[in-house]
Structure 1
Amino acid sequence: MATREDRRTGAETRAEILRVALRLFTERGYEGTSTRDISTALGITKSALYYHFPSKESIVTSLLTERRRELDDLVEWIRTQPASPDLVQRAALRWIDGATSERLDGMRLMHANGPVLRNLLDDGNDVRSHFERIVDALVAADATPADRLYVRMAFDTVGAALLSAQRTDASLEDILAAARRATLALTA
Protein backbone atom coordinates (compact mmCIF):
# COMPACT_ATOMS: atom_id res chain seq x y z
CA MET A 1 0.00 0.00 0.00
CA ALA A 2 1.39 3.41 -0.95
CA THR A 3 2.02 5.89 1.81
CA ARG A 4 1.61 9.63 1.60
CA GLU A 5 5.40 9.81 1.25
CA ASP A 6 5.29 7.63 -1.88
CA ARG A 7 2.95 10.04 -3.62
CA ARG A 8 5.11 13.12 -3.06
CA THR A 9 8.22 14.20 -4.87
CA GLY A 10 11.28 14.98 -2.76
CA ALA A 11 10.74 18.72 -3.20
CA GLU A 12 7.09 18.40 -2.20
CA THR A 13 8.01 16.37 0.86
CA ARG A 14 10.66 18.89 1.86
CA ALA A 15 8.21 21.79 1.47
CA GLU A 16 5.58 19.92 3.49
CA ILE A 17 8.11 19.18 6.24
CA LEU A 18 8.93 22.89 6.46
CA ARG A 19 5.25 23.87 6.52
CA VAL A 20 4.34 21.37 9.24
CA ALA A 21 7.47 22.05 11.30
CA LEU A 22 6.79 25.79 11.21
CA ARG A 23 3.24 25.22 12.41
CA LEU A 24 4.38 22.90 15.21
CA PHE A 25 7.28 25.13 16.27
CA THR A 26 4.88 28.07 16.40
CA GLU A 27 2.20 26.19 18.35
CA ARG A 28 4.42 24.21 20.74
CA GLY A 29 7.68 26.12 20.68
CA TYR A 30 10.97 24.97 19.23
CA GLU A 31 12.02 23.05 22.30
CA GLY A 32 8.53 21.59 22.74
CA THR A 33 8.56 20.02 19.28
CA SER A 34 10.50 16.88 18.50
CA THR A 35 11.43 15.36 15.17
CA ARG A 36 9.06 12.53 16.11
CA ASP A 37 6.24 15.09 16.44
CA ILE A 38 7.04 16.42 12.98
CA SER A 39 7.28 12.99 11.34
CA THR A 40 4.05 11.84 13.03
CA ALA A 41 2.17 14.94 11.88
CA LEU A 42 3.39 14.26 8.35
CA GLY A 43 2.65 10.54 8.40
CA ILE A 44 6.25 9.66 7.55
CA THR A 45 8.98 7.83 9.40
CA LYS A 46 11.72 9.64 11.29
CA SER A 47 14.22 8.16 8.86
CA ALA A 48 12.29 9.71 5.94
CA LEU A 49 12.38 13.05 7.76
CA TYR A 50 16.12 12.69 8.36
CA TYR A 51 16.62 11.95 4.67
CA HIS A 52 15.45 15.50 3.93
CA PHE A 53 16.75 17.23 7.08
CA PRO A 54 19.48 15.72 9.26
CA SER A 55 18.29 17.55 12.38
CA LYS A 56 15.66 19.80 13.87
CA GLU A 57 18.23 22.61 13.67
CA SER A 58 18.55 22.14 9.92
CA ILE A 59 14.78 22.53 9.56
CA VAL A 60 14.88 25.87 11.40
CA THR A 61 17.90 26.97 9.38
CA SER A 62 16.02 26.22 6.18
CA LEU A 63 12.96 28.14 7.39
CA LEU A 64 15.07 31.16 8.24
CA THR A 65 16.97 30.95 4.97
CA GLU A 66 13.70 31.58 3.14
CA ARG A 67 13.02 34.68 5.31
CA ARG A 68 16.54 35.96 4.59
CA ARG A 69 15.98 35.40 0.87
CA GLU A 70 12.81 37.52 1.04
CA LEU A 71 14.77 40.29 2.76
CA ASP A 72 17.55 40.07 0.18
CA ASP A 73 14.98 40.41 -2.60
CA LEU A 74 13.57 43.53 -0.96
CA VAL A 75 17.04 45.06 -0.59
CA GLU A 76 17.67 44.47 -4.29
CA TRP A 77 14.33 46.08 -5.17
CA ILE A 78 15.14 49.11 -2.99
CA ARG A 79 18.49 49.53 -4.71
CA THR A 80 16.79 49.68 -8.12
CA GLN A 81 14.42 52.46 -7.04
CA PRO A 82 15.15 56.12 -7.61
CA ALA A 83 15.76 58.05 -4.42
CA SER A 84 12.56 59.74 -3.34
CA PRO A 85 10.97 61.02 -0.12
CA ASP A 86 8.39 58.21 -0.20
CA LEU A 87 10.83 55.32 -0.69
CA VAL A 88 10.63 54.17 2.95
CA GLN A 89 6.85 54.08 2.70
CA ARG A 90 6.83 52.25 -0.64
CA ALA A 91 9.38 49.69 0.57
CA ALA A 92 7.56 49.05 3.85
CA LEU A 93 4.22 48.67 2.04
CA ARG A 94 5.84 46.29 -0.44
CA TRP A 95 7.04 44.20 2.53
CA ILE A 96 3.56 44.20 4.09
CA ASP A 97 1.77 43.48 0.81
CA GLY A 98 4.04 40.50 0.16
CA ALA A 99 3.33 38.96 3.56
CA THR A 100 2.02 35.42 3.59
CA SER A 101 0.67 33.29 6.40
CA GLU A 102 4.02 31.45 6.37
CA ARG A 103 5.95 34.70 6.86
CA LEU A 104 3.68 35.65 9.75
CA ASP A 105 4.14 32.18 11.27
CA GLY A 106 7.90 32.65 10.91
CA MET A 107 7.62 35.95 12.75
CA ARG A 108 5.53 34.30 15.47
CA LEU A 109 8.18 31.59 15.73
CA MET A 110 10.93 34.18 16.20
CA HIS A 111 8.88 36.17 18.74
CA ALA A 112 8.06 33.10 20.81
CA ASN A 113 11.44 31.39 20.53
CA GLY A 114 13.82 34.28 19.94
CA PRO A 115 16.49 33.55 22.59
CA VAL A 116 16.64 29.84 21.79
CA LEU A 117 16.82 30.42 18.05
CA ARG A 118 19.39 33.21 18.37
CA ASN A 119 21.65 30.91 20.40
CA LEU A 120 21.05 28.03 18.01
CA LEU A 121 21.72 30.11 14.90
CA ASP A 122 24.36 32.45 16.31
CA ASP A 123 26.20 32.91 13.03
CA GLY A 124 25.73 36.66 12.60
CA ASN A 125 23.49 35.85 9.67
CA ASP A 126 20.12 35.83 11.40
CA VAL A 127 16.99 37.45 10.06
CA ARG A 128 17.44 40.58 12.22
CA SER A 129 20.97 41.10 10.86
CA HIS A 130 19.61 40.74 7.33
CA PHE A 131 16.91 43.25 8.17
CA GLU A 132 19.61 45.80 8.95
CA ARG A 133 20.57 45.66 5.28
CA ILE A 134 17.14 47.10 4.47
CA VAL A 135 17.71 49.94 6.93
CA ASP A 136 21.16 50.54 5.42
CA ALA A 137 19.66 50.69 1.92
CA LEU A 138 17.06 53.26 2.99
CA VAL A 139 19.08 55.68 5.11
CA ALA A 140 22.19 57.70 4.39
CA ALA A 141 25.50 56.55 5.83
CA ASP A 142 25.47 59.53 8.21
CA ALA A 143 21.90 58.92 9.39
CA THR A 144 21.14 59.55 13.02
CA PRO A 145 20.07 56.74 15.33
CA ALA A 146 16.59 58.31 15.30
CA ASP A 147 16.48 58.09 11.48
CA ARG A 148 17.45 54.41 11.64
CA LEU A 149 14.80 53.74 14.30
CA TYR A 150 12.17 55.44 12.16
CA VAL A 151 12.89 53.08 9.26
CA ARG A 152 12.84 50.04 11.54
CA MET A 153 9.51 51.16 12.95
CA ALA A 154 8.01 51.54 9.48
CA PHE A 155 8.79 47.86 8.86
CA ASP A 156 8.07 46.58 12.36
CA THR A 157 4.37 47.40 12.11
CA VAL A 158 3.69 43.79 11.07
CA GLY A 159 5.45 42.53 14.20
CA ALA A 160 3.58 45.03 16.35
CA ALA A 161 0.26 44.00 14.81
CA LEU A 162 1.10 40.33 15.38
CA LEU A 163 1.84 40.96 19.05
CA SER A 164 -1.29 43.06 19.43
CA ALA A 165 -3.38 40.32 17.81
CA GLN A 166 -2.42 37.69 20.37
CA ARG A 167 -5.45 36.18 22.07
CA THR A 168 -7.82 37.88 19.62
CA ASP A 169 -9.72 36.53 16.65
CA ALA A 170 -7.87 38.83 14.23
CA SER A 171 -7.32 37.24 10.83
CA LEU A 172 -4.24 37.47 8.62
CA GLU A 173 -6.05 40.17 6.65
CA ASP A 174 -6.83 42.11 9.85
CA ILE A 175 -3.20 41.96 10.97
CA LEU A 176 -1.90 43.13 7.62
CA ALA A 177 -4.53 45.89 7.34
CA ALA A 178 -3.52 47.22 10.77
CA ALA A 179 0.17 47.06 9.83
CA ARG A 180 -0.49 48.87 6.55
CA ARG A 181 -2.49 51.57 8.33
CA ALA A 182 0.26 52.05 10.94
CA THR A 183 2.95 52.23 8.27
CA LEU A 184 0.99 54.82 6.32
CA ALA A 185 0.53 56.90 9.47
CA LEU A 186 4.22 56.65 10.37
CA THR A 187 5.45 57.52 6.90
CA ALA A 188 2.90 60.18 5.91
Structure 2
Amino acid sequence: MATREDRRSGAETRAEILRVALRLFIEKGYEGTSTRDISTALGITKSALYYHFPSKEAIVTSLLTERRKELAELVEWIRAQPASPDLLRRAALRWIDGTTSERLDGMRLMHANGPVLRKLLDDGADVRSEFEQVVDLLVPGDATPADRLLVRMAFDTVGAALLAAQRTDASPEDVLAAARRATIALTG
Protein backbone atom coordinates (compact mmCIF):
# COMPACT_ATOMS: atom_id res chain seq x y z
CA MET A 1 0.00 0.00 0.00
CA ALA A 2 1.33 3.40 -0.94
CA THR A 3 2.10 5.75 1.90
CA ARG A 4 1.40 9.44 1.84
CA GLU A 5 5.11 10.04 1.15
CA ASP A 6 4.99 7.78 -1.93
CA ARG A 7 2.27 9.85 -3.55
CA ARG A 8 2.90 12.96 -5.55
CA SER A 9 0.77 16.04 -5.25
CA GLY A 10 -1.35 17.02 -8.23
CA ALA A 11 1.12 19.79 -9.10
CA GLU A 12 4.05 17.38 -8.89
CA THR A 13 2.24 14.86 -11.08
CA ARG A 14 1.42 17.54 -13.67
CA ALA A 15 5.06 18.69 -13.68
CA GLU A 16 6.26 15.10 -14.14
CA ILE A 17 3.78 14.53 -16.99
CA LEU A 18 5.04 17.68 -18.72
CA ARG A 19 8.69 16.67 -18.24
CA VAL A 20 8.17 13.12 -19.56
CA ALA A 21 5.90 14.20 -22.43
CA LEU A 22 8.42 16.83 -23.52
CA ARG A 23 11.21 14.25 -23.53
CA LEU A 24 9.09 11.85 -25.60
CA PHE A 25 7.98 14.58 -28.01
CA ILE A 26 11.64 15.42 -28.63
CA GLU A 27 12.72 11.78 -28.98
CA LYS A 28 9.80 10.47 -31.06
CA GLY A 29 8.24 13.65 -32.43
CA TYR A 30 4.89 15.05 -31.43
CA GLU A 31 2.95 12.95 -33.92
CA GLY A 32 4.98 9.82 -33.08
CA THR A 33 4.14 10.04 -29.37
CA SER A 34 0.82 8.72 -28.11
CA THR A 35 -0.89 9.29 -24.80
CA ARG A 36 -0.28 5.59 -24.16
CA ASP A 37 3.48 6.20 -24.62
CA ILE A 38 3.32 9.02 -22.08
CA SER A 39 1.29 7.08 -19.51
CA THR A 40 3.51 4.01 -19.91
CA ALA A 41 6.68 6.05 -19.42
CA LEU A 42 5.15 7.53 -16.27
CA GLY A 43 3.90 4.19 -14.96
CA ILE A 44 0.32 5.45 -14.72
CA THR A 45 -2.90 4.57 -16.47
CA LYS A 46 -4.21 6.59 -19.40
CA SER A 47 -7.19 7.57 -17.28
CA ALA A 48 -4.82 8.99 -14.64
CA LEU A 49 -3.05 10.95 -17.39
CA TYR A 50 -6.41 12.22 -18.68
CA TYR A 51 -7.30 13.36 -15.16
CA HIS A 52 -4.50 15.92 -15.42
CA PHE A 53 -4.53 16.59 -19.18
CA PRO A 54 -7.46 15.71 -21.45
CA SER A 55 -5.22 15.34 -24.54
CA LYS A 56 -1.74 15.63 -26.01
CA GLU A 57 -2.74 19.05 -27.25
CA ALA A 58 -3.46 20.15 -23.68
CA ILE A 59 0.03 19.05 -22.66
CA VAL A 60 1.65 21.11 -25.42
CA THR A 61 -0.57 24.08 -24.62
CA SER A 62 0.54 23.88 -20.99
CA LEU A 63 4.19 23.83 -22.04
CA LEU A 64 3.68 26.96 -24.17
CA THR A 65 1.70 28.70 -21.44
CA GLU A 66 4.74 28.45 -19.18
CA ARG A 67 6.90 30.08 -21.86
CA ARG A 68 4.38 32.89 -22.27
CA LYS A 69 4.48 33.53 -18.50
CA GLU A 70 8.27 33.87 -18.68
CA LEU A 71 7.90 36.31 -21.54
CA ALA A 72 5.31 38.37 -19.64
CA GLU A 73 7.69 38.53 -16.67
CA LEU A 74 10.47 39.79 -18.95
CA VAL A 75 8.19 42.47 -20.41
CA GLU A 76 7.29 43.68 -16.91
CA TRP A 77 10.96 43.69 -15.88
CA ILE A 78 11.92 45.78 -18.93
CA ARG A 79 9.10 48.24 -18.24
CA ALA A 80 10.36 48.68 -14.67
CA GLN A 81 13.92 49.51 -15.78
CA PRO A 82 15.16 53.04 -16.32
CA ALA A 83 16.09 53.81 -19.92
CA SER A 84 19.81 53.24 -20.38
CA PRO A 85 22.24 52.45 -23.20
CA ASP A 86 22.83 48.95 -21.79
CA LEU A 87 19.17 47.98 -21.32
CA LEU A 88 19.13 45.74 -24.40
CA ARG A 89 22.20 43.84 -23.19
CA ARG A 90 20.88 43.49 -19.64
CA ALA A 91 17.45 42.32 -20.84
CA ALA A 92 18.86 39.81 -23.32
CA LEU A 93 21.32 38.42 -20.76
CA ARG A 94 18.50 38.16 -18.22
CA TRP A 95 16.54 36.08 -20.77
CA ILE A 96 19.54 33.83 -21.41
CA ASP A 97 20.39 33.49 -17.71
CA GLY A 98 16.82 32.34 -17.04
CA THR A 99 17.15 29.57 -19.60
CA THR A 100 16.87 26.14 -18.02
CA SER A 101 17.43 22.74 -19.54
CA GLU A 102 13.62 22.44 -19.72
CA ARG A 103 13.44 25.65 -21.76
CA LEU A 104 16.14 24.29 -24.09
CA ASP A 105 14.07 21.13 -24.47
CA GLY A 106 11.02 23.23 -25.28
CA MET A 107 13.02 25.01 -27.97
CA ARG A 108 14.15 21.65 -29.37
CA LEU A 109 10.51 20.57 -29.46
CA MET A 110 9.50 23.67 -31.43
CA HIS A 111 12.46 23.37 -33.82
CA ALA A 112 11.68 19.72 -34.55
CA ASN A 113 7.89 19.99 -34.63
CA GLY A 114 7.23 23.65 -35.45
CA PRO A 115 4.86 23.33 -38.42
CA VAL A 116 2.76 20.63 -36.74
CA LEU A 117 2.57 22.49 -33.44
CA ARG A 118 1.75 25.85 -35.07
CA LYS A 119 -1.08 24.20 -36.99
CA LEU A 120 -2.26 22.40 -33.87
CA LEU A 121 -2.21 25.53 -31.73
CA ASP A 122 -4.39 27.56 -34.06
CA ASP A 123 -4.94 30.43 -31.64
CA GLY A 124 -2.75 32.45 -33.98
CA ALA A 125 -0.32 33.53 -31.31
CA ASP A 126 3.03 32.05 -30.57
CA VAL A 127 5.91 33.15 -28.36
CA ARG A 128 7.81 34.58 -31.33
CA SER A 129 4.99 36.89 -32.36
CA GLU A 130 4.36 37.88 -28.75
CA PHE A 131 8.05 38.71 -28.47
CA GLU A 132 7.41 41.82 -30.57
CA GLN A 133 6.40 43.53 -27.31
CA VAL A 134 9.99 43.16 -26.14
CA VAL A 135 11.33 44.58 -29.40
CA ASP A 136 8.92 47.52 -29.18
CA LEU A 137 10.09 48.29 -25.63
CA LEU A 138 13.77 48.20 -26.54
CA VAL A 139 13.91 50.16 -29.79
CA PRO A 140 12.70 53.70 -30.39
CA GLY A 141 9.74 54.30 -32.68
CA ASP A 142 11.99 55.62 -35.43
CA ALA A 143 14.24 52.57 -35.39
CA THR A 144 15.33 51.12 -38.70
CA PRO A 145 14.45 47.57 -39.68
CA ALA A 146 18.11 46.72 -39.08
CA ASP A 147 17.85 48.04 -35.50
CA ARG A 148 14.79 45.87 -34.88
CA LEU A 149 16.56 42.84 -36.34
CA LEU A 150 19.53 43.40 -34.05
CA VAL A 151 17.25 43.32 -31.00
CA ARG A 152 15.63 40.09 -32.20
CA MET A 153 19.06 38.59 -32.83
CA ALA A 154 20.30 39.54 -29.34
CA PHE A 155 17.46 37.50 -27.86
CA ASP A 156 17.67 34.64 -30.35
CA THR A 157 21.25 33.62 -29.61
CA VAL A 158 20.10 30.63 -27.56
CA GLY A 159 18.12 29.32 -30.54
CA ALA A 160 21.07 29.91 -32.86
CA ALA A 161 23.48 28.17 -30.48
CA LEU A 162 21.04 25.28 -30.06
CA LEU A 163 20.85 24.79 -33.82
CA ALA A 164 24.62 25.07 -34.16
CA ALA A 165 25.04 22.45 -31.44
CA GLN A 166 23.09 19.78 -33.31
CA ARG A 167 25.12 16.63 -33.91
CA THR A 168 27.87 17.83 -31.55
CA ASP A 169 28.73 16.86 -28.01
CA ALA A 170 27.97 20.38 -26.74
CA SER A 171 26.28 20.40 -23.33
CA PRO A 172 23.42 22.69 -22.35
CA GLU A 173 26.00 24.76 -20.48
CA ASP A 174 28.06 25.08 -23.69
CA VAL A 175 24.98 26.21 -25.61
CA LEU A 176 24.19 28.88 -23.02
CA ALA A 177 27.82 30.05 -22.77
CA ALA A 178 27.97 30.48 -26.55
CA ALA A 179 24.63 32.31 -26.56
CA ARG A 180 25.82 34.63 -23.80
CA ARG A 181 29.04 35.45 -25.67
CA ALA A 182 27.10 36.08 -28.89
CA THR A 183 24.66 38.40 -27.13
CA ILE A 184 27.50 40.39 -25.56
CA ALA A 185 29.17 40.70 -28.97
CA LEU A 186 25.90 41.82 -30.61
CA THR A 187 25.12 44.39 -27.95
CA GLY A 188 28.67 45.70 -27.43
TM-score in same-fold range (> 0.5): yes
Cα-to-partner distance string for 1:132-184 (whole Å, 9 max, x where unaligned): 11111111223221111110000110000000111111111100000000001
1:149 paired with 2:155, answer no
What residue identity is the alignment partner of 2:63?
L
Partner secondary structure for residue 99 of structure 1: coil
Within 2, Cα distance between the matches of 1:44 and 1:151? 45
Task: Find runs of 4+ consecutive structure 1 residues off by over 3 angstroms.
Answer: none
CA drift at 1:124: 2.4
Within 1, Cα distance between the matches of 2:27 and 2:76? 33
Matches for 1:39-78 after TM superposition, within 5 Å: 39-78=39-78
CA drift at 1:101: 0.3
Equivalent position of 2:91 in the other structure: 91
What residue identity is the alignment partner of 1:69?
K
1:115 paired with 2:109, answer no
Equivalent position of 1:175 in the other structure: 175
Within 1, Cα distance between the matches of 2:76 and 2:124? 20
Partner secondary structure for residue 124 of structure 1: coil
Mark the runs of 5 or more structure 2 residues left unpaired by the alignment: none
Within 2, Cα distance between the matches of 1:23 and 1:67? 16
Within 2, Cα distance between the matches of 1:7 and 1:109? 29
CA drift at 1:2: 3.5
Q: Please tell me the root mean square deviation across aligned C-alpha atoms, in Å.
A: 1.5
CA drift at 1:113: 0.6
Within 2, Cα distance between the matches of 1:8 and 1:48? 13
What fraction of aligned residue pairs are identical, expressed as a percent?
87
Within 2, Cα distance between the matches of 1:26 and 1:72? 25
Mark the runs of 5 or more structure 1 residues left unpaired by the alignment: none
Equivalent position of 1:32 in the other structure: 32
Partner secondary structure for residue 131 of structure 2: helix
